[in-house]
Each structure stands twice: as C-alpha cells, then as structure tokens.
Amino acid sequence: MSNATEADSTQAAPAAESQADTSESTQAVEASGSDALPDWAQKELKALRKENETRRRAEKQRQESEMSDVQRTKAQLDELLTAHNTALGELRGLKAQGVARDAGAIYPDLVADRLSDDALTGDKQTRDRELDRIRKQYPSLFRSGSADGGAGRDAPQRPTTMNDLIRQTANKSG
C-alpha cells in the first residue's frame, strides 16, 4: 500500500507546480479512478480542481473585461441594423400596398410584391407606367369597369322603409 501512496503523491506533487500539469495529472487520476485514492489525496485533488476552476474563471473574466466594450458595441450595432432593415422592409411594403390600393387593386399585397423600387421612389409617371405594366400582365388583380360605367356606385341610398322590405320579400317568394 505504501507503493500506491508514493505513486499517488508523485502524481499530486507535480500537479501543484503549474496549471497544465494540474489538468494532466487530474485526468490521469480520474482515469485510474478517484475512489481508489486515500482521503488526503482526494482532498488535495478536490482543492486542485477548485483552484484550477478559479483560475479559469479569472482568465475568462479578464478576457471579457478587455473585450466587453467592443463586443457590447458590436452587439448593439447588429441589433440596431436588424431593427432598421426590418423597419425599412415594413415601410416599403406599406407604401407599395397603398400605391396598389390607390390604383384599384383587388389584392393590394399581390400587386405590391410586383412593384419595383423605382415605382415607389420615382415620380408619378414612373409609378403609372409600372402599374400599367402590371395591369396588362395581371388584369385579374385589378378592378375592371362595370357595364353601367359605375353609375349606381356613388348614388345616395334611400333609407329602407317597411314598404321596401315587403316588396323585397314578395319578389323573393314569387
């Protein structure tokens, strides 16, 4: 048993000299099984692991403190750029839908997807040419004129009276 104790102490003694040696000896002891070690060696191993972990944490904190300002600034910049690009995309979509709706599109979102950026940022003539091109290519996306020329569309409606309701009911049943 004294040979095993000497072997274990020779592994533990160089481990205190440097951090690299600590991790190598710890791995060697773990491979052989730490349950086979005497109590004093297990305590020493536990202390070395704790010291090693403390050193790693200190090094990590030192690195984070040196780079935290740069990393924080980069993260904020990335977040702001993402939010900006998202807002620009939403603004473009809303503007395109408004243009398509004003042009009489039945499905403004479908027409908006087909509008180019020039139609949205250019002058009225550019926008009209783009809308005419889309109207010729996809006529079903736009309202067409009615046979009566839209005469009844804007006419004021009379209030519904009881006589009107009786007539409607009589026409439906007969």
Structural domain of 117: 2-141
Domain assignment present for residue 30? The answer is yes
Cross-strand partners of 142: 105
pLDDT band at 110 (very low <50, low <70, confident <90, very high): confident
Predicted confidence (pLDDT) per residue in 35-93, tens digit: 678 889 899 999 999 999 999 999 988 877 777 777 878 878 998 999 999 999 999 88
pTM confidence score? 0.42
pLDDT band at 8 (very low <50, low <70, confident <90, very high): very low
Domain assignment present for residue 113? The answer is yes
Please give the pLDDT value at position 50. 96
Domain assignment present for residue 163? The answer is no
Domain assignment present for residue 89? The answer is yes
Domain assignment present for residue 173? The answer is no
Count of CB atoms situated within 10 Å of the CB of 128: 12
Q: What are phi and psi of 58, to 5 degrees?
A: -65, -45
Domain assignment present for residue 130? The answer is yes
**Domain count of the chain?**
1
* Averaged pLDDT, 86-103: 89
